[in-house]
Amino acid sequence: MTLPLLRGQKALVTGANSGIGKSTAIALGRAGADVVVNYVAGPEDAEAVVKEIESFGVRAYAAQADVSDEDQVDEMFAHMVSEFGTIDVLVANAGLQRDASVTDMTLAQWQKVIDVNLTGQFLCARAAAKEFLRRGLVPEVSRCVGKIICMSSVHQIIPWAGHVNYASSKGGVLMMMQTLAQELAPHGIRVNAVAPGAIKTPINRDAWSSPQAEAELLKLIPYRRVGEPDDIANAVTVMASDLMDYVVGSTLFVDGGMTLFPGFATGG
């Protein structure tokens, strides 16, 4: 089924050759958007995503860029404007983990995660905001000048031992998102976040790939189901649409209740 929610809109999804970004890019295409499929490595995977999006009768192409590199990000957005004319929706999704206890964590591990997960989102949001402001409102496309959706995590509010770089990056994403939302809302730009709980993707394969690991994980999820990438893709699609036009500076947790402090269901 093709939903017309985003018909005529131009979207860019970072880290779209895998996991949540891949499902999101496909969902936006299914909803009628033309889509830029960003990736950093793995062009074959990105091209496969492009093919799937094109099967919906919309345009798509793959764009290689490291989101933590200022020049590469600016070049990617400039190319998108020359190819598609503008951008209406940015999904700042690219992210990674480099896990270690604090005493073992190297500066390189800390820096890499902050660079990709936080600075990468800043660079992409800045480039998108510039284009939104240049182009202005096109009422027949959207009620809104532009949409930025930051891929956050339940770890924007849940501390996570052994992952101080990752949790700090997502805590930073929360405050970056809210600050940008406050700054850009008067210009008709909506900035929001989607915060997944545990979703089955390569980033956390160890947490769900064996029955024992999955059983442990399910203890943290009141809804007793590990999420799928489409759970997030569907939420992003609606968040990007005019159905959510009055949602500004919010985080939509898509987590099966992980942020409900499930340990308190029987304790406390």
- Footprint of ligand NAP on this chain (CB under 6 A)? 14-15, 17-21, 38-42, 66-68, 93-96, 116, 120, 151, 153, 196, 198-199, 201-204
Residue 177 DSSP label? H
- Smallest gap from Cβ 185 to ligand NAP, in A, equals 24
CA dihedral sign of residues 149, 190, 241, 47: negative
- 53 versus 116: smaller Cβ distance to ligand NAP: 116
Q: How far is CA 204 from CA 24, 49, 63, 159, in A?
A: 18, 21, 25, 17
- 40 versus 62: smaller Cβ distance to ligand NAP: 40
- Smallest gap from Cβ 96 to ligand NAP, in A, equals 5
- 98 versus 135: smaller Cβ distance to ligand NAP: 98
- 144 versus 221: smaller Cβ distance to ligand NAP: 221
- Smallest gap from Cβ 47 to ligand NAP, in A, equals 13
Q: Which of 39, 61, 166, 223 is catalytic?
A: 166
Give the residue from 172, 203, 78 showing the smallest Cα distance to 128: 78
CA dist., res. 58 & res. 7, Å (int): 9
Q: Let me know if 166 is a catalytic residue.
A: yes
- Smallest gap from Cβ 8 to ligand NAP, in A, equals 26
Q: Is 252 helix (H, G, I), strand (E, B) or coil?
A: strand
- Smallest gap from Cβ 49 to ligand NAP, in A, equals 10
Kind of pairing, strands 189-196 and 146-151?
parallel
- 15 versus 29: smaller Cβ distance to ligand NAP: 15
Give the residue from 78, 66, 76 showing the smallest Cα distance to 40: 66
CA dist., res. 239 & res. 231, Å (int): 13
CA dihedral sign of residues 198, 201, 207, 213: positive
CA dihedral sign of residues 59, 6, 16, 91: positive
- Residues serving a catalytic function are 166
